[in-house]
Every structure is written in C-alpha cells, then in structure tokens.
C-alpha cells in the first residue's frame, strides 16, 4: 500500500476512535417533556429540558447560581445579590428587572390555571429591584425556606419581552405587564426560549423531542457537547434496545432486569445515586369515605388509622427493594428520604402480616373491604410491578384490590377531579425534608406555602401546630426539631403509606462518566467523556 493510502486509513481509523463521533450527546428520557415553558409543569423531564436553557438564582445543591449571596435583613425581608456580567442568550444583560419580571410571570395563570409552582413563592408579597444587581423579597410572614424555593424561579428576560420600565410586583402575576408575557407556544417554537443557561433551544417537537446547541455567550463553564438530542422513549425495552444498538448514549430509569442486561456488555455501564423522591400511597382518609373504597357495612375503612397501619404492616418493603429493584432503592421509614439532611431519625416501619390482620379485625373489617388502587403506568420506575406486589400483600390481608393502571395524563385528570381514593405518587425533596409533609398533609395556607396538594384530606391539630411553627422558624436546629415532631405525627397517623426512596439510575456508554443528580433530572452537564 502506498503512503497516501496508509495515511487515509490512519485518518479514517482515528476518526472512528476519536471523540468526534460523540460530539452530539443523545439522551433518551423515560417520559416526554411537556413544554419548554418553565412554569406550568413540575415533572422531572420537563424541568430537565428547561434547565439546559433557563437558570435559577439558587442551584439545586444550594450553591449560588445567578445569585451570588443572599441574607435576611429582617424577619420578612431578604436581600439577594445578583451575579454581574451575565447575559441572556440573545446578548441582553441580566439584572434585577428580569427577576421581578420572572416572579410576575411565575405567579400569572397560564391558560386560566395557576402554575403548578405558584404556591412555592405564594408567601412573597413584594419583589423590588433595589438596583441593577440587588433584589429584595418581602414576605407576608417569616418564610425561612424562601431561598430553597428560589430554586423554582427560572429567570426570563424582561427586555426580550418588551418590558424596559420598572415593574410593580402585585403578587397575582398581572403586575401591569401581563400583555407582554410569552405564550407556551412561543417557548416551544423557540421564540421565547431565551435564558442564561449553557444551551440554546434549536428545536422542540410536540412529541417532547428536543435538540439543543451550546450558548456561545454562557457566563459559566462552556458546554461540553456540540449538540444535545433529547428523545422521549416511554417503553423501557425500547430505551435499552436503543442504547445497545448505539442510538442513544445515555438513557434514564432502567429497571432491575435492564441493569443486568446493560452490565453484561462491557461497552456499556450504569450509574446510580440515592434520590430525593419518596414513593408512597396517598389515601383519602375522609370520614365520608374515599372514591373506589367500599365496605359491606357502609363504613369508611381508610378513615380508621388502624386500617391504614394494617395496610402498611402487610408490606414487605425489604423484599420490594431487594427483589424488584436489586438494591437500587431504599425502604422507606418516613415520608422524606431517611438519608437526606434534616430528615429525623426514625425506626423502620414494621412488616408483620399477622399483626396486620389483627388490626384490620379490631377495626371491624375482619372480612376485608374493596379498594381501587390507581397507578400511572408510565411515570415511576417499576411502578406497575410494585403496585402488583402491593395488591398481593393486601389480598392476603383480606382486602379485595382492583388495580387500575393508566397513562400519567389520564391519571392526573382523574386525580384532579377527585376520583382517586388510593393511588401511588412520588414526591421529591429538593427543598428539604419537610417538603412532602408540608405540601401533602398540611392544611392549605398560601401565606405560609403549606398544603398545596393535601389530597388525603388529613387534618390533625398536633401535626398542624408543628408544621406551622416550622414554616416560620429561622433557627435551623429548632426547625429540624419541628420537622421531627411533624414527621412522627404523620407517620403515626399514616394518611399515606411510605414505600421506598428511589435511587436514580442511568444506563450509558462505558466510555462516558455520568454523575447523576439526586433529583433524577437528566442533564447534559452531568455527562462527561472519560
């Protein structure tokens, strides 16, 4: 072979072996992002896509992001200093007016409905641009978790939306500028997808598929990938097959059997991290009864705490974690992940089928009752098989379980219409150990940011006193003690049944290092070439 032919072969071989083929990062999500609009939706996949484009003042790990420092200047006023030199992807500078604009947009209803995240900052009564790089947040009462909640406030450009004058925040989201707000379609088309993040939106499709390219003017570390393709592949088997076939570089949420398949091939690997999500069963404990739950004597079984404890004691959580997750989950002993900062020390929840039967009999249901258990079939890893296991445990107890699995969209509609008496749900804790119990079990109080989703109809004066005191406590040690009191009371009353804490798992090419986020969001920034 002549020299030129040899050189051509060497160049070809080098091209195949070099990182050039991996300049495009291809990630397969388990659920389709709904929109690029950063406010109406709170699911992990929509948030994960959006956080490539939009940034918050405080990072998910509590470190500075667009804010450099923050402090309380009084019990109800906090001052936030903004990062200097940051520009939006269209070249416009970032400043205090953009924070006020974003707060207004966050609080404004979308399509006539309040944003999912509105309650997070409901206690904020005023937002003031003190100067170009200083913002003051004023609350209706002491709200010590304000800085945790600022993780939800994704920053939009006021100037890009035609707002150049000072903005008077009104708490309702109108702020005299509502006509300037971009519509969801504007975000999805890319017109309004103007943020300060490391990537730009190149394309978003109704299927949830998206393509991103680097933001050349990004203020932080430059994007590692020349292009990022996000594809939505709901079927586990299809995601695994796509990874093994080379269609995807990273996939999320492989099941236990999928992990074994991936790890049998040395070209692929898995990475995991203990997650912040609690998977639990929400129970409607109303004295008037729960939808889909009936007893021969006409009583309301779930209204009796002995019944709720019987359902809990019938579950072998260790078996679920060991057999269904191969250890990639942790058995729950409370409503917050037991290993996270601020979670109280609590004993394991007991598994005792015989004691569970006795409790059920004591409550007057020796012959059991009928219960519909609703589970989204495209939302939680192994959710359907876990629900099948629960149905078996409760059937042995004497409860006649009708398992209803349905797509997340259908499930959400039925949940919103109050049609579910017992259902599987997942709740993350990026804002701390009290996040679930303060949102799911407290009585609704917009001023304190409590009870945004009390779907169990739980009301207990001791729990309420502790969680309300926690909501205004600025001393960390005292706040943790109040969380412990409220958590113990919630576990004792069992308005929901804690099952396990998800570990977040990704499958990927073996030549990539994946440092996953505990919140389970799949981001290009967590994937690096080895």
* pLDDT score of 393 more than 50: yes
pLDDT tens-digit readout, 250-268: 999 998 888 989 999 999 9
- 8 — pLDDT class (breaks 50, 70, 90): very low
292 with 209, same domain: the answer is no
Higher pLDDT pick, 111 / 307: 307
375 with 464, same domain: the answer is yes
pLDDT tens-digit readout, 452-479: 899 999 999 999 999 999 999 988 899 9
What does the DSSP 8-state code read for residue 229? E
Domain count of the fold of the chain: 2
347 with 411, same domain: the answer is yes
83 with 222, same domain: the answer is yes
362 with 290, same domain: the answer is yes
Task: Answer whether residue 255 is part of any domain.
Answer: no
Task: Answer whether residue 239 is part of any domain.
Answer: no
CB within 8 A of 467, min separation 6: which ones? 434, 437, 438, 441, 442, 450, 482, 486
CATH number, domain containing residue 332: 3.10.105.10
CB within 8 A of 529, min separation 6: which ones? 19, 22, 224, 511, 512, 513
CATH number, domain containing residue 166: 3.40.190.10
Give the domain range for residue 384.
Answer: 274-504
Task: Answer whether residue 529 is part of any domain.
Answer: no
Instruction: Choose the final residue of a domain: 191, 208, 228.
Output: 228
Task: Answer whether residue 387 is part of any domain.
Answer: yes
Task: Answer whether residue 81 is part of any domain.
Answer: yes
Task: Answer whether residue 510 is part of any domain.
Answer: no
Task: Answer whether residue 190 is part of any domain.
Answer: yes
376 with 316, same domain: the answer is yes
Q: How far is CA 274 from the centre of its chain?
A: 14
Give the DSSP per-residue string, 97-145: HHHHHHHHHHHS-BTTB--TTGGGGTTEEEEEEEETTEEEEEESS--TT
67 with 174, same domain: the answer is yes
| pTM across the whole model | 0.79
158 with 76, same domain: the answer is yes
Share of the chain above pLDDT 90, in %: 80
209 with 297, same domain: the answer is no
Q: Given phi > 0 = left and psi -120 to 50 = alpha, else beta, which region is 50? A: alpha
- 387 — pLDDT class (breaks 50, 70, 90): very high
pLDDT tens-digit readout, 67-90: 999 999 999 999 999 999 999 999
**Structural contact between residues 66 and 86, judged by C-beta atoms closer than 8 angstroms:** yes
pLDDT at position 273 is 93
Distances (CA, A) of 319 to 185, 324, 390: 46, 8, 11
81 with 182, same domain: the answer is yes
321 with 183, same domain: the answer is no
192 with 304, same domain: the answer is no
Burial class from Cβ neighbours inside 10 Å (0-12, 13-18, 19+) for residue 199 reads buried
* pLDDT score of 21 more than 60: no
Helices of type H across 365-522: 383-397, 408-416, 435-440, 461-471, 476-493
Task: Answer whether residue 445 is part of any domain.
Answer: yes
In a 3-state reduction of DSSP, which class is residue 209?
coil
């Amino acid at each position: 072979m002549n020299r030129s032919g040899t050189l051509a072969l060497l160049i070809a071989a080098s091209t195949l072996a070099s990182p050039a083929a991996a300049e495009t990062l291809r990630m397969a999500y388990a659920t389709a992002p709904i929109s690029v609009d950063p406010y109406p939706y709170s699911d992990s996949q929509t948030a994960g896509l959006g956080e490539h484009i939009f940034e918050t003042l405080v990072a998910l790990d509590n470190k500075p992001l667009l804010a450099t420092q923050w402090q309380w200047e009084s019990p109800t006023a906090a001052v936030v200093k903004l990062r200097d030199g940051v520009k939006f992807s269209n070249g416009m500078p970032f400043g205090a007016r953009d924070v006020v604009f974003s707060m207004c947009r966050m609080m404004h209803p979308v399509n006539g409905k309040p944003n999912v995240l509105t309650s997070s900052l409901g206690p904020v009564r005023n937002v003031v641009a003190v100067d170009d790089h200083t913002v003051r947040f004023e609350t209706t009462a002491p709200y010590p978790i304000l800085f945790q909640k600022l993780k939800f406030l994704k920053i939009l450009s006021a100037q890009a939306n035609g707002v150049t004058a000072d903005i008077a925040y009104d708490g309702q989201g109108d702020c005299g500028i509502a006509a300037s707000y971009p519509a969801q379609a504007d975000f999805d088309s890319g017109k309004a997808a103007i943020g300060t993040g490391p990537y730009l939106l190149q394309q978003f499709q109704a299927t949830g598929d998206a393509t991103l390219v680097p933001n050349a003017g990004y203020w932080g570390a430059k994007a590692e990938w020349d292009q990022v393709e996000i594809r939505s592949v709901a079927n586990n088997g299809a995601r695994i097959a796509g990874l093994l076939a080379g269609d995807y570089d990273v996939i999320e949420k492989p099941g236990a059997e999928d992990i074994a398949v991936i790890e049998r091939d040395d070209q692929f690997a898995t990475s995991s991290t203990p997650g912040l999500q609690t998977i639990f069963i929400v129970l409607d404990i109303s004295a008037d009864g729960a939808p889909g739950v009936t007893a021969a004597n006409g009583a309301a079984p779930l209204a009796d705490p002995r019944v709720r404890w019987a359902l809990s004691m019938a579950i072998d959580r260790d078996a679920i974690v060991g057999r269904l997750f191969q250890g990639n989950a942790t058995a729950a002993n409370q409503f917050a992940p037991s290993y996270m900062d601020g979670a109280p020390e609590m004993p394991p929840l007991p598994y005792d089928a015989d004691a569970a039967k006795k409790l059920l009999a004591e409550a007057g249901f020796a012959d059991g009752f009928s219960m519909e258990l609703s589970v989204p079939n495209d939302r939680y890893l192994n959710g359907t098989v876990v629900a099948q296991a629960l149905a078996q445990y409760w059937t042995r107890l004497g409860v006649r379980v009708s398992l209803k699995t349905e797509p997340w969209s259908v499930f959400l509609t039925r949940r919103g219409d109050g049609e579910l008496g017992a259902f599987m749900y997942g709740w993350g804790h990026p804002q701390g150990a009290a996040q679930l119990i303060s949102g799911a079990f407290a009585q609704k109080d917009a001023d304190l940011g409590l009870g945004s989703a009390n779907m169990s109809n739980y009301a207990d004066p001791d729990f309420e006193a502790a969680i309300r005191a926690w909501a205004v406590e600025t001393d960390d040690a005292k706040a943790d003690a109040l969380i412990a009191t409220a958590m113990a009371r919630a576990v004792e009353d069992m308005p929901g049944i804690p099952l396990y804490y998800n570990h977040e798992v990704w499958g990927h090419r073996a030549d990539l290092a994946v440092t996953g986020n505990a919140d389970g969001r799949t981001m290009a920034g967590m994937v690096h070439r080895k």
